[in-house]
Chains A and B, each alone.
Chain A
Amino acid sequence: MRILVNGDSREVRAADLSAALEELGYAGAVIATAVNGEFVAANERQAAQLAEGDELEVLAPMQGG
């Protein structure tokens, strides 16, 4: 299915968020995730099923003021 990952259209085979993150190359990374504007905690990723057109945000620590 095609989903948006940080604004870019991507094809993923995985059905849940945890597997999708691995497929997208985020394995082992310190990240936080949101799907369609809703926060998905790390321990909820496996249960979070993805659907065509979902908008996934993958954020990581960054410098800030």
Chain B
Amino acid sequence: MLQLYEAQLRSRLLLGSARYPSPAILTEAIRSSGAEVVTVSLRRESAGERAGQGFWSIVQSLVRDLGVRVLPNTAGCHSAKEAITTAHMGREVFGTSWVKLEVIGEDDTLQPDVFGLLEAARVLAAEGFEVFPYTTEDLIVAERLLEAGCRVLMPWGSPIGSGRGLNNLFGLKALRARYPEVPMVVDAGIGVPSHAAQALELGFDAVLINTAVSQARDPVGMAAAFAQAVAAGRAAHRAGPMEPRELATPSTPLVGKAFLS
């Protein structure tokens, strides 16, 4: 079981809810992924269109019918203050103290502003939020986030929506090794199921996927593929992968080989 704060989860795949072709496909993709945690957000509501009210009824049915937990994000926030205010608004609307804390530092890479992130994490954790910080693989930032009260870390694989997979394997392995007991979810940049399997093989506890599923030609099929990859990666981690070697080693024993030349 995966433990994220008080929640015990069977699925190690967390899914984003953005950019699906339709609400029906979103719902089917969540069902087919087996995800028990789905990220959501807040945006300006027009009194005329009331688009958010439509999405709210979808969220309610996801919670009721599929039993998912929602993880509100602070996407698009560029300062600690903005992220803190958004977190408060999300807590009220979605009725959860969970927050996927994003403070974006730069628009081309959507790289986390780790200084703003830490500042916001300190405030929110002290206020009782259960913070899921979207961070880099930096060890010292991780240490500070844990000191601030975060009990889950969400290091990026590569820039959000880039689909480039695990960009800094060395850094991610170092982070995993440094804090073996802290639940870690690789968030952002995962493009195909093999990237997700790799994250789990390395010992990361879970992955958070959005674009790779929602923008696939068949999001429901891709959600199922990710579920299998995550399960395979986890099983491989538990089974203990072999160490890579520089030179070949015969897999068939040489002892007893016939002498034929």
Contacts and interface: CB of A to CB of B under 8 A. Distances in A.
A3 interface: no
B198 to A, nearest CB: 20
B26 interface: yes
B53 A32 contact: no
A26 B45 CA distance: 9
Interface string B81-106: 11001101110111000000000000
B160 A65 contact: yes
B19 interface: yes
B72 to A, nearest CB: 7
Contact of B44 (A37, A41, A58): A58
Interface residues of A, number: 25
B47 A61 contact: no
A65 to B, nearest CB: 3
Interface string A3-47: 000110000000000000000111001111110011101100000
Given A32-B90, A64-B18, A59 B211 contact: no
B75 A61 contact: no
Contacts of A64: 16-18, 39-42, 72-73, 75
Interface string B46-61: 1110111101100100
A63 B19 contact: yes
22 contacts: A6-B46, A26-B45, A30-B93, A38-B85, A39-B85, A39-B88, A58-B44, A60-B56, A61-B40, A61-B93, A62-B42, A62-B51, A62-B52, A63-B26, A63-B40, A64-B39, A65-B41, A65-B73, A65-B160, A65-B208, A65-B210, A65-B211
